Every structure is written in C-alpha cells, then in structure tokens.
Amino acid sequence: MIVLGIVGSIAGGKSTVARYLQESGAAWIDADSLAKQSLDLADVKEKLVLRFGNQVLNAGGGIDRAEIGSIVFGNDQASQAELRYLESIVHPIVRNQVLQKLKSNASSGVQVSLLDVPLLFESGWDRCCDEVWCIDADPEIRAARAANRGWHPDEIVKREQRQLPIATKIQLSNRVIQNNGSMEELHQRVDQHWQSLLTKNVETDSDTHCR
C-alpha cells in the first residue's frame, strides 16, 4: 500500500484535490474531520466544559466549534495556552484513529491511503508517507477563493502564521500541483501524477506502516 500525504497553501485547493483523489480510488483519511468528530465524544466534551465553561455548548448540547475557535485561535499567550490544552486532548485520539485506519486499509488491500493531516510536516506525519503532494495557487487567486468563502481578508494571513511557509512545504514535497486554472486543468494534472503513483505502487509493492 502506498501512503500519500497531501499539503498545500491556504485556499490553494487541497480539499478539492483530496476529494478528486478519493473519487479516483484513494482511501481518504481526513484528520481534520476526525478531530471535529472527536469533540462529540463524551469524555472530550466533559473536559472542554470543565476548562471553558458551558459557553462552549451549543443549543443541542454539543460542542460549539466556532466558540472553541474564538478561544484557542489567537496570537496572545492565553489563547496559545488554551490551544495547547485542546490539542493535548484531541491529538492523541486522532492519531490513534489515523493509525487504525492505515492498518485497516493495508490489511484490506487498499492500494493508496491519502493522508490529509493539518501540519503534516510539523507533526512528523510525513515520515509515514511514501510521497507528499503539495497543492498551491497564486496569492491573488487564493485571496479571491477565500473571499468567496466569506473569509475576512486577514484570515489567510492568520492561518498561514500557524503553518510552515508554502515555500518550505514545496521544498519538502515530492510533487507540486499548481491550481491556477480551471477544474478540468486541475484534474488533468492530478490524473498524470495519480497514474505515475499507481505505477510506482505496482513496481515497488510498497507496504508502508506508520508506527
């Protein structure tokens, strides 16, 4: 089994490529989605309420992710401390789930597992990957996409400050896919790399496991 890591610039199109790779046959492991789901676990919810109070609960009694975000995503020391606390709870859960999915995929004959983990290089997940692809786009195009999502103009800058510079991600990646054109052009580029990856899988018969 090939383990393919995916990274990218903010609003560069990483999730778009991940969904397309899933349609092409990759088993998409979306760690961000797993992290969001973990907030609904009873023990996690209890710890967050004890730490932050009932203000983090929504009308249905679940965790209000927007409220949590307003607490932990800031540049001041207090916010950073709260973020570290949140990560200390969520990251071990997500790590175990990712490892379980990789093991399950390998044992069930999955050809390619797509490892989509925020801060993939920073957290060392790249060491589990046979290849890492970086999805990027020009700054003005990314800004336009962010605006279409309703983001504040400063949102890209804030998010980028919490990640490696895109130049570093590009340097550390095996392949770089530019997403400045149409969806058809993007799919063509991805298809070329995908076919190359499948050929590599056949030739190497890779059975990568992350421990």
Could you report the per-residue pLDDT of 27-82, keeping only the tens digit for each? 999 999 999 999 999 999 999 999 999 999 999 999 999 899 889 987 789 988 99
Is there a domain that residue 73 lies in? yes
Is 108 among the annotated ligand-binding positions?
Answer: no
Average pLDDT, the chain: 91
Q: Is residue 177 part of a domain?
A: yes
Residue 25 counted as an annotated binding residue: no
Residue 168 assigned to a binding site = no
- The CATH number of whichever domain residue 141 belongs to comes to 3.40.50.300
11 is in an annotated binding site: yes
Answer whether residue 209 is part of any domain. Answer: no
| Domain assignment of residue 145, given as a range | 2-204
Q: Is 14 annotated as a binding residue?
A: yes
Q: Is residue 210 part of a domain?
A: no
Q: What is the pTM of this model?
A: 0.89
pLDDT level of residue 155 (50, 70, 90 thresholds): confident
When divided into structural domains, the chain yields a total of 1
| 211, part of any domain | no
SS3 of the chain: the string is: CEEEEEEECCCCCHHHHHHHHHHHCCEEEEHHHHHHHHCCCHHHHHHHHHHHCHHHECCCCCECHHHHHHHHCCCCHHHHHHHHHHHHHHHHHHHHHHHHHHHHHHHCCCCEEEEECCCCCCCCHHHHCCEEEEEECCHHHHHHHHHHCCCCCCHHHHHHCCCCCHHHHHHHCCEEEECCCCHHHHHHHHHHHHHHHHHHHHHHCCCCCCC
Would 160 be classed as within a structural domain?
yes
Tell me whether residue 16 is annotated as binding. yes
- Does 167 map to a domain? yes
